[in-house]
Every structure is written in structure tokens, then in C-alpha cells.
Structure 1
């Protein structure tokens, strides 16, 4: 029995910046759950759920009694928009937590066990290098879990310890996550890159946030070198590496695999001294006494997800077993209950994104086994051939991706895509992360003959929290069963603090989108960020401030996302910290002051990708070219996606003050909003004309801050 640590002697292909895809995108409904609030139904309480008369817009907070704070998931105004299966489940159980209890599941891997018992022969996961069925996944992960539980190297591991997993998007990562969870430990996937410096930085930051005790990674030279550098700094860490000689074939449970390792570099590193072999830990039981007893509480962490990993300064969020199991119920009833989505017994799920992010964790760990699916991975989504090959060979009926992926497919292989799905369109096409531009949506639907359905969520909101209305995506979003939302007046944002009354801050127009239900409660090791994002109301209910501006557009509570009010710059679904970008220009001998902020590329799609705008003050009298600024930023390892393009580098006189608060914090959001306002006043719509930015910024700053 062995992992598909596939080996090949083929030449390397670039996966270097897979981490640029950052599809970003759960609360227990019981008193002692993650949210610390009671979402169950109490029929004896006086109720005022603010249900609207027919034909009037709903006003209030869906399903929450404004007097008692009680939540009733059958009283949400969008109840009728759920499919029949979802409505039946809601009518059967007083809360989604009760629905979870009825399953008997205690940890997320129980979903896998259930599918293994029913259909172990079905394929569970594959990539361009091979596949594993559910029974094989069970055998491999069971062996790995035993060896981890009986791991007797000092210092000893204990239940709940974190394990960093720097893997590319391969079957190995999925198997590692399941095995670590079954061992009673907590996996922390790390977005993989062949850049040793970036990978080491990401691991160091994750180690700081999580206090991990083990690093289990792929045996590529860059990864092994980064792990060795980490070992030199921390001798208490345990290291496990996946290794095999190049071009060696490994026989496993009747299947032969070639290694992704050889695919990328033609060779892999041997297991360094002091490291443990992942291959051996997956193949051979050591039969030692197990030293770890996994905890059985639903409220124990199942996985730690890292956000904004491209900056190397991620935030870490624990998701509990309860949260992921609730997500499995939400996704299963939504997809299988949709009469227009007819899935086969073992539906092929195309997933060309990293498994290390929230989107990937949700699809691989939760959705795939919930529908007895077969997840098809693409290790190098930047290669159009790699993107199209799984579609040609497997003809997947469920496509999961982001706008950028669909754009590449449409632009590079439109005829082939149309031909593949001309007679048998996919049953479900889902897009996550950044909002899909209208032109992309139209192209995808024309070529695939299936409506695109977008999901909304983030690591902080239990991965997925709202979906576009079934069969009519343009109708807007509704929260998934057991969740709710409110839109608060952005002008009263200073009142979004602990103990606030959300009913006092509601707005009928655009405002801050807040989500409750299947959400998390805190970041690890970052109390200041926790207070900004996770806020409990007067009823004790946990809300997440998403950083998005939204507006209700339907009489049943449907809403649309207008744009983002956060400072984070998002390009193709990847999050970038403006401070990190700004730091790459610091130290330039000719630049005395700088400031970075976001601006949507397209005014008609303000929730989509951003431009990076850079304000600078130049010392001396000699001109400074855009190329010089861009080159300096590249030299300081700025990601290419966020280096400001022509027209976005704004030069300002020395006597003009940059906009800042009383505490000297840059007013980035203010600048974004002011530029949008002035462009719209000039009648601009669609893609931003960057040639106008210099004069607009000068006008804003001279009038308000000159």
C-alpha cells in the first residue's frame, strides 16, 4: 500500500506561482459552539421575525427575532427560494445543528468513511499522474494516521498539534490532510511554490501563527531546502518528506503512478538525515503503541486555513469539525436537491485550483465525499494544455473554478471547449473568489451551455456562506441554510463593536455586509485583526464583517455585492496586502514618500479584480520613469500582478499631503471611493482609463488636503 508519490522522468513545467490563485472565499448553531450563541428555535418565545407582506421588500435580519435575538431557520424570507430538499430538511429539524446530530458524524473524515463503506470502489481523486479510489484512500490514510498517533520521536506529539503541509495540488495533499485529521492532529495547508525563499517565508509565518510541531512536505528540492533551513532555526520541529527516486514506478493497490516530483524537476531529493519518510509512513504500519488519543468533540479544530498567503503575512483561521460538517450538509442539499442538477453515481468534479486554500479545502475534504464524487486536480493551472486535458479525458460534469481560469479556457481553447460539451453540457458550473465579469459569464455560458452559479464566502465565514439563487443567478445571493446576513450603515461603522444592536444600524441602501451562522470567531495570534472582523452583538451572536459593500435587491431578501470596502488589493482572486506592496518601494533613493491603494479595474464590476495605484513624492529635480519604479519593486520581490501599470504611478509635489487619519494611517479606502466618485461624475463606466488618474488624484488632494 502506498501513496501515489508518482515519479516521472519528464521535464519540469512551471507551477511557481500557483499561490497567486487565492480563491478565497462555520458556526455551530448551539449555545456552546464556536459562535457562542444560540441559533436554535424556541417556539415559546414571543416572535417578531419582521416577515414582510407579500410584494413588499423584507426589512430586518432574516430569521432573527428583533426582540429576543432567537434565530429560526424556517423563518428566513428567502425560505421559498430554497429547493424542496432543503425546505424538507429545515421543516424536519429545529436547527442545522440538530440536522448534523442526526447524521451521527463527529469529525469531517466521517464523511469519507461513510462513502468508503457504501462505494469504496469509486474513484475519489485523480490528477494527470494517476488516481485513487475511496478504499485506497482509506487504506493509505489509515496507515498514515496510525504511524502519526504512534510517533515516538521527542518531543512527543499530542492531540490537536498542528502539522504544516507544503504540497502542490496533488492527491498527496488530500491524503496527507485526511491522515493528519484521523491521527487527531490539525493540518495547516501551505500554498506551494518552487521559490524556496517564498516557501520558507510562508512556512515561518504559518509556524509563528499556529505553533505547529511538524512539517510534512513534498520532496522537491526547493521544499526540502526550505524545510532544512527551518530545521536549522527550530530543532524541536519534526519533519516528514515525500521522496522517491526519479523515474521509479511505485506499485500501489493494483495501480501504478508516476510522480509529480519528477514531472516538475526530473529528480527529487533523498530524505535528509533527521527527516522521516512520508512514503514509509503511508506504506508500512509500525505496529507501535499509539500515543495520541484523538478528541471526539465536534468543536475541536479540523483544519487551519491561511488567508492572503501571497504576502507571507497570512492570518490563520481554525475551522472546527462542526463547521465543516455543517458545510457538507449545506452543499449536499443545495446541489443534490436542485432538480436541474442531475449528477451521476460518481460525478467527476473538475478543480484546477490549489487545495491549500479555503475553496480547495471545501471542495476536496467536504463536497467530494458528500456527493461520492471524483475530484480531478490540475497541478499546473497556468498551462492551457493542463487545464483542457482533464476536460477531454474525463468529461467532468461539475466544473469548479474562478473567473481567470474560465477566461483562459475561453481564450485559449474555445472551439475545443464548445465541442466537448456540445451534446452533454456540464450539470453544474461554479465560480468563486472574485466576482465574475459579465463578459466572462456570457462567454462561459455560451460555450458550455450551462448557467454559471457564483458562490460567496471566505475562510472567516466557513468557506462558503451564500450562493446565487438556483436557476436564476442574476436574482442575487441568498445565505445557505442556517446562515443569515444583515447590511449595516457604513456611516455608523464606528458602532460596529462588541455588544452592538444590529437592528439599530440597518440601512435600506448600500452598506457593510455582515454574515452570521456558519462563521468562525477569531484569528490565531492576531487579537487586533480579530476585533476588527469578528464582532458579537447584544444577543451574543457572532458576526463576521466581510469588508464587502452589499445591497438588498429582492423582496425575499436577495442581495447583491456592490464592491469591497476593505483595503486589501485583489487580483484574480488573490489577496495582496497594500502595506506589503508599499514596502517594496521603500528604500528607493529617489522616492521620499509613497502610498498604495486599490482601484477596481472595471467600474461596472467593482467586486472584481483591482488595479494597484501608487502615489509617490520624488526627491530632487530629475525625472523618474515608470520603468525605474517598477524595476525597483521587482528587485524587492513585488509580485508581478500588483506592480502598478502605466498611468497608475502618480507623482505628487512635495507640498501635497498624503491623506491620512489622526493617527497617521493612510486613508486608502477614502482615496478609492473618491476616485470612483469623480470618474462616475465624469460619465466614466466600464474599464478605468488610467490616463485620467494623475489629474483626478491631484484634484482630490489639492482640494481636500492641500
Structure 2
């Protein structure tokens, strides 16, 4: 990667407060002291206050220290959906000096095996619902301590018993499993409560989490995120959001999975540091239940992404909710279409503030200032962050030209776990990480993502970016969502194929092409259109263009 002293950079302001905390556990301790009696996390009506999370996390840490042989730096996999057990396990593990390996609860056995072996995890906290999968792979891993929890474990009686009975025996969501030596989460906490937690010294450059990339373009890699990375990104989030959200008085909905770096940083770190309340939604795909939960809460913030905004705004019961308290909606994880943003604002009265990030940057790189949102951009670099764009040969490009976006800042990862070659391809000696996204840096400091580098379509020598097409198509009143890919074509090299989920069965390909011709140059108009009931997505809601191409 070329490094010119005169490289045209766009940088955020200086980052304040980075030296105030050495580790994530320092942040947690300060928050508990300041906001002990404030609600920290709630789920299905059960609330944990900051002092509750502190006590339970200390119990878990004490069990790890006294009843296992795990040492600081060892890895522990946490495979949980959005439940109260998640922050307890995470902060308990970090207080014991362990490295958290966030693991997707929807993983297949193959994916679990890869992540556990690759990370060298020696312990796991897992939901009973997927313990049968662990049974089939554990002998091929280094895992020697298994803690199994059920959905209602941190609820009081009799609700705990009712929830767990219904999940296991009525809904039959817990397949039979045999894990000799496994302990229940409540048992572990009870044992830890009889022990004394001993504080552990950790350095800001020690790894706090191994956050695995989605693995959609090859083998999933463990991103080494240090305490400094996570603390920096938490402070960066505070710097750009604190003008809208105050301290100790906000209630923010968390429907996206907390094991994903987006929600992990925003809800488990930033909102915790500011003493606010995160409402964990275990299954946002249960839209009926999700909306019923929202009906009971005066929420002031909402963390979501494009597909979820679309799904909610299409429902009459959601549109009937009281949004008078809502003052911040954050979008990340995937590109936000203008149509979805406008619809959300029409329904809720709250504009959507889009940010941008990636696992390798903890994740936040840029954010739209809530008071000066530019739809169609990903905002400006957050404090302490510099960005630039480069061409295919690594040469720096001027403002206004499209090239691969590169990022430098304190939130940039240490590297990929045990993958020095992959690290070298992505991260250079000066700390610049190549994002793989094609972007334009505007004169006003805002950044516009043109598209993923690998998703670019070349039609008769012209570069075509799927995001542009999808944004135009999503503006059609009869379209719920759309995805564009390139397919081989004898005449033009590649042709554009469009996949559409329509809300009106009478919508046809000709109508969509006419719509596109009004907004796009001729070579950008889709040649093929296929209607589908749904589009393939990752567990965090990103449309999988790769699956559409493979099909």
C-alpha cells in the first residue's frame, strides 16, 4: 500500500479520554460505581441493574478462577442469543482475564467446530437449545469446561420455571444431548458466590475478544480486538452520540445479536459506559412478539438495520406504536437504502442515522452526525480516525474519486488470530486496514460507499455497483427489498440480474425496468429480473449476494 506524505486523508477530530481506562473491565467497574441502581439490561420483562450484573459477573469470574484451571489469556466461547446471561458471562470472563470468543448461536456443527478449534477455546457457555451440536463436535476440540444455560435462567421464580418448561417441553426447542461433566449456569453462579473473586491485571494491548468475521468469502478468521480497540471504539461512539443520548436515562432497543460486533460495542460497551438501559430482544424474527414488547416500553433509542426497518414498517401494529420518546435510530451492518430510511422516518418521526464499520475496526469507522445527516453517505470519520482511498495498485487517490477505503485509528484490530499472511494482506505496518469497500471521499468530509469491491459488476467495460441499483429499485412503492448481482453474458461480459421481493403480486419485470431507466444509465438497467418470496441473509440480516450468485 502506497504511503505518500501528501495522501488526501479525511480525519475525525482528536479522540478524548482514551487514557482514562486501561481495559474494558475498568470501564465496567466505573459504570457500576456510578450507576449501581440504574437498569442495565432487561429481557422478556426481567431487569438486571448495574449492581446485579456486577454481582453475577463476579460470581462467574470467581468460579472460573477457583474451579477451573483456566489462566488469563485463555479463550472462552460464549454461544448465546440476546439473553441476560450474555453480559454476565462476558464481563465475568473478562474480569477473570479470559478472551471472549463470541459465537453465533445459529452456527452449524461445521462452523462451531472450525471456530472452537481455530480459537483454541478451552471453555464454553452455551444455550441448551444447541448443546446437541456441541456434543457432536466437542471431542475434536480443546473445550474441557461446559456451562449450559436455559433461556429463563436469570428470571425469578415461578417465571423461570415456566419459561424453561415451555421452551423444553411445549415448544420442544431443546434437543436431547449428553455432555458429561457439563454444569448449569445457575449452579456455576451459586458455586462462584461462595468464592472470592480476585482482580486480574490486564494490559490495554491484551486481547479482549476474538470476533470472527462472517466467513462469506472463505474461512472465517478470528479478529483480535484488544481492550484498547474496544475502549477506543466505545469512546468514539460516545463522542458522536452523546449529544442525543444522555447518561443514565435512556432505554435503547437491541434486536440485533449481541454476539455481533455492532451490537456488542454499542449496547454492551457504549450504553453500559453511559449508564443506560439496553432491552435485549432474543428473537427479532418473531415480529409479533417483538412488537408486543415494544408496546410496553417508552424507548428512546433503536439499533437496527435496513431489513429490520423494512419488516417493521410494513406492519400495522408497529405503525400504531407510540414513538414520542424515540430520539435516535442507528443503522449499521449493511447499506441503508433511502427508501427504508424515509419510510422509517415517516412512521416513527425519527430520522435514521447511518454509520459504517467492520469487524476489523471494532466496528465503528464513521457516523452521520445526527444533526446533519446526509442520506446516501456513511457520515464522517469518528474521532481519532483517518480514512483514505487507494486504487488497485495501492496508490492514493484524490477526493472525489472511487477507490478502496482504508482506515487508520485506535480501533483497528491487532490482526487475525494465528493468520499472519491474512493479516499482512489486510493490515499494513502503518496501521492502515483495507476494508474491501469502494468509497468516495467528499470535499465536505462525508464518505460515500459505492459498493463492495468483490460485488462490482462490469458491463461492457463499465463498472456497475449493485448498491446503486438496489437503492433505486427499493424506491419503487411495490418493492420490499432487492439485490443485484452480475451474471455471465456473451455480449457484455456480465449482465445485471435483479432479485426482488415484491409487496404487490402484479409487479412485473417490464415495470421495474421502466422504473430503472428513469434513474439509471442504460448499461445499469437489469437485464434479468427474478421475483422471490425472500432473499438469503446472514444471521444479522445482510443480504447474501454470494448465495444468489452461486445459485
1:533 aligns with 2:433: no
Per the alignment, do residues 205 and 345 of structure 1 end up closer, same or farther by CA in structure 2, a change over 3 Å counting? same
Deviation at 1:166, TM superposition (A): 1.4
The answer to whether the 8 Å contact 1:241/1:277 transfers is: yes
How does the TM-score come out when normalised to structure 2?
0.79
Query: Residue in 2 aligned with 1:226?
Result: 133
Give runs of aligned pairs for residues 332-343 of structure 1, distance below 5 A. 332-336=238-242, 338=243, 341=244, 343=246
Query: Residue in 2 aligned with 1:380?
Result: 283
Deviation at 1:202, TM superposition (A): 2.0
Deviation at 1:184, TM superposition (A): 0.8
1:117 aligns with 2:19: no
Q: Secondary structure at the match of 2:283?
A: coil
Among 92, 102, 112, the residue aligned to 1:203 = 112
Distance 2:212 2:166 in 1: 27
Structure 1 stretch 265-274 or stretch 134-143: which is displaced more?
265-274
Give runs of aligned pairs for residues 556-595 of structure 1, distance below 5 A. 557-566=445-454
Per the alignment, do residues 359 and 248 of structure 1 end up closer, same or farther by CA in structure 2, a change over 3 Å counting? closer
Query: Residue in 2 aligned with 1:474?
Result: 374
Distance 2:366 2:216 in 1: 25
How does the TM-score come out when normalised to structure 1?
0.62
Per the alignment, do residues 551 and 233 of structure 1 end up closer, same or farther by CA in structure 2, a change over 3 Å counting? closer
Among 18, 33, 42, the residue aligned to 1:100 = 18
Per the alignment, do residues 369 and 250 of structure 1 end up closer, same or farther by CA in structure 2, a change over 3 Å counting? closer
Per the alignment, do residues 248 and 510 of structure 1 end up closer, same or farther by CA in structure 2, a change over 3 Å counting? closer
1:61 aligns with 2:3: no
Deviation at 1:256, TM superposition (A): 5.7
Distance 1:248 1:389 in 2: 22
For residues 169-206 of structure 1, the C-alpha deviation after alignment (integer angstroms, 9 at most, x for no partner) is 2111221111111111111111112xxxx432222111
Query: Residue in 1 aligned with 2:251?
Result: 348
Unaligned runs of 5+ in 1: 1-36, 38-47, 51-58, 63-75, 80-89, 497-501, 570-597, 618-639, 641-646, 649-675, 693-706
The answer to whether the 8 Å contact 1:249/1:256 transfers is: no
Per the alignment, do residues 601 and 262 of structure 1 end up closer, same or farther by CA in structure 2, a change over 3 Å counting? farther
1:139 aligns with 2:55: yes
Q: Secondary structure at the match of 2:432?
A: strand
Per the alignment, do residues 289 and 383 of structure 1 end up closer, same or farther by CA in structure 2, a change over 3 Å counting? closer
Distance 1:160 1:249 in 2: 27
Distance 1:147 1:175 in 2: 13
Distance 2:231 2:152 in 1: 40
The answer to whether the 8 Å contact 1:242/1:279 transfers is: no
Per the alignment, do residues 599 and 289 of structure 1 end up closer, same or farther by CA in structure 2, a change over 3 Å counting? same
Q: Secondary structure at the match of 2:341?
A: helix
The answer to whether the 8 Å contact 2:397/2:403 transfers is: no
Per the alignment, do residues 138 and 566 of structure 1 end up closer, same or farther by CA in structure 2, a change over 3 Å counting? same
The answer to whether the 8 Å contact 2:405/2:439 transfers is: yes
Query: Residue in 2 aligned with 1:654?
Result: none
Per the alignment, do residues 442 and 216 of structure 1 end up closer, same or farther by CA in structure 2, a change over 3 Å counting? same
Give runs of aligned pairs for residues 168-207 of structure 1, distance below 5 A. 168-193=81-106, 198-207=107-116
The answer to whether the 8 Å contact 2:205/2:228 transfers is: yes
Query: Residue in 2 aligned with 1:300?
Result: 206
How many residue pairs were aligned? Answer: 485
- Please provide the CA RMSD for this pair: 3.6
The answer to whether the 8 Å contact 2:125/2:149 transfers is: no
Give runs of aligned pairs for residues 461-500 of structure 1, distance below 5 A. 461-474=361-374, 476=377, 477-488=379-390, 490=391, 493-494=392-393, 496=394
Query: Residue in 2 aligned with 1:605?
Result: 471
1:435 aligns with 2:335: yes
The answer to whether the 8 Å contact 1:188/1:305 transfers is: yes
Query: Residue in 2 aligned with 1:316?
Result: 222
Distance 1:165 1:123 in 2: 23
For residues 270-324 of structure 1, the C-alpha deviation after alignment (integer angstroms, 9 at most, x for no partner) is 874222332211123375688x973421111111111115789421101111111
Q: Secondary structure at the match of 2:187?
A: helix
Larger Rg: 1
